[in-house]
Chains A and B, each alone.
Chain A
Amino acid sequence: MILAIDTSLGTSVAVVGGDIVTESATLDTRSHAEHIGEFIDRVITDSGLTPADVTTVVVGIGPGPFTGLRVGIAAGVAFAFGQGIPVLGISSHDAVAVGVDACTVVTDVRRRELAWTSYRNGVVVAGPGLTTEATLASDVDLTEFPEVRAGTISAAMLAAAAQQRIDRGDDLSSVAPLYLRAPDATPSNGPKRVSG
């Protein structure tokens, strides 16, 4: 039984396994910390399961706005720690590319930037990268890999993508976020003068 969590856009949590697919999601992009606990609790309970039935946790590691993204990853790590089970990380864009021959997944990462990843049959062929609305078409080959603009990431689809990659034997052990941007901070050049 996989517990999948994605907070790269809204908050989406799912339990997937056997004939069970239970998902809880919101489009709200600013309340991940509020929703995360209830959603995990709800999908497990509504599936008639207990936390001990979960055997693997999968988290979407972005790209996405950092503050919310970290909530889902932290939750996935902690849930897995509580059960002594593995936590796996895959790109949140993987969830959108499942079952599509060729595509470029594009999501909004705020500050007028877009994140993109190009896929062929669920395998990354270019990206992830950052671009803008104005430069997307020149930065990315949208002819061979047509744009799929995603406003949400489904945790159930994330679980499906993870299952495919587990079956392929990929190493998914890193849950480090795909930040794609360095922190906004500039080293200090010494104090400013205060006297005239």
Chain B
Amino acid sequence: MNEPLVLGIESSCDETGVGIVRGTTLLANVIASSMDQHAVFGGVVPEIAARAHLEALRGTLSAAVTEANIRIDDLDAIAVAAGPGLAGALMVGVGAAKALAVSLGKPLYGVNHLVGHVGADVLREDGGEIELPTVALLVSGGHTSLLLVRDLVTDVVLLGETIDDAAGEAFDKVARLLKLPYPGGPHIDRVAIDGDPNAIRFPRGLTLPKDLVNHRYDFSFSGLKTAVARYVETADAVSIPDVAASFRESVADVLTRKAVDACREHGVTRLLLGGGVAANARIRALAAERCAENGIELRVPPLALCTDNGAMIAALGAHLVARGVAPSSLDFPVDSTLPVDTVRV
């Protein structure tokens, strides 16, 4: 079974994703998002996300199987994100995946959502095996993590993560301050085009020498958010484009500086971006610039594979099957704080 056919289910946050892969070939990637329902709240509401997952479940399963043009009996395994993420949301996907596995008599792999983001890299146009080692910068509304991956199954290390807000949350909160719509990322990107990124020197969280002692690869965006709020409240004339551009520059600077630092310290010449914030134009551009300066290859999967999706879960599942990793036992729980070194629960 060199090219296992795997269906993956993702429900850790506000996207219901069902993807199907054959080995490293993408056959289907169907996503239903409840993003619009969270807009009036300015952030993801867990109960609303969980309700939306259940509503979207049957439709996404059905659309994925149709899109992949497979017989469901031909699947070799089912994979599902078991964590980290919102517990109530994860439970919808896990409950469904367990029952589907029993219904079809197929093995089930409960996998790590964050490692799934890394696994998405195999689903490139040119196919092929994932190239390791790599540093992975995974940034979304739910997580901001820096990983060192030497082996997708046996050697995934968390170098650092946010100690307060996720970067995507910071974008949402600053967008609210600037009276821009939710989700904040794309709207801040849009207005920042006309702004000066050096107009206001906002703080760079956890980059001072004293912070680097214990938090070299950790992130903090709470202070930045507060600094932007204070500026907007107290400045005589606020240029929204300048604030947006300067805020975005601070986030992009810290994220890419720490990611490149990690590559250099560990002698790794590859950096993978993942998560919805990887869509941010400035973060991509600055990452490209700094990677080029340091002889690091930058990899950014297509957007539909960067944001949360079932195909990345399926891809990681297929990798586990191909490597001969045993399936999960049927009784695993969801784990909202699943550590990255647990690739399969």
Which residue numbers of A lie inside 8 Å of B, CB to CB?
A: 31-38, 40-41, 44, 50-51, 66-68, 70-83, 176-177, 179, 183-188, 190-191, 193-195
Residues of B bordering A, CB below 8 Å: 40-43, 45, 47-48, 50-51, 53-55, 57-58, 61-62, 72, 87-88, 90-105, 108, 173, 176-177, 226, 229-230, 233-234, 330-334
The reply to whether A36 and B98 contact each other, CB–CB distance below 8 Å, is yes
A81 touches B58 (CB 8 A): yes
Check A79/B99 contact, CB under 8 A, given A34-B333, A194-B230.
yes
Residue among B45, B330, B332 facing the most chain A CB atoms (10 A cut-off): B330
Nearest A-chain residue to B330, judged by Cβ: A37
Q: Give A185 to B14 CA distance when docked, in angstroms.
A: 15
Output the nearest chain B residue to A185 by Cβ-Cβ distance: B45
Interchain CB contact (< 8 A) of B54 among A177, A191, A193: A177
How many A-B pairs have beta carbons closer than 8 Å: the answer is 139
Supposing A67-B91, A195-B234 touch, asked if A82 and B229 sit within 8 A by C-beta, the answer is no
B54, closest chain A residue (CB): A70
Q: Roughly how many angstroms separate A187 CA and B48 CA in the complex, as a whole number?
A: 13
Q: For the complex formed, measure the closest distance between the CB of B174 and the CB atoms of chain A, giving whole angstroms.
A: 9
Q: A38-B330, A78-B57 are in contact. Are A67 and B72 (CB under 8 A)?
A: no
What are 9 contact pairs spanning A and B, CB under 8 A? A33-B98, A37-B101, A40-B103, A67-B87, A70-B92, A74-B53, A74-B99, A75-B98, A81-B58
Given A71-B92, A78-B57: A37 in contact with B102 (beta carbons within 8 A): yes
Bound Cα distance from A83 to B101, whole angstroms? 11
Knowing A185-B47, A191-B229 are in contact, say whether A74-B96 is a contact too (CB < 8 A): yes
- Chain B residue numbers with a CB within 8 Å of A179 are 51
A34 touches B47 (CB 8 A): no
Are the C-beta atoms of A81 and B100 separated by less than 8 Å?
yes
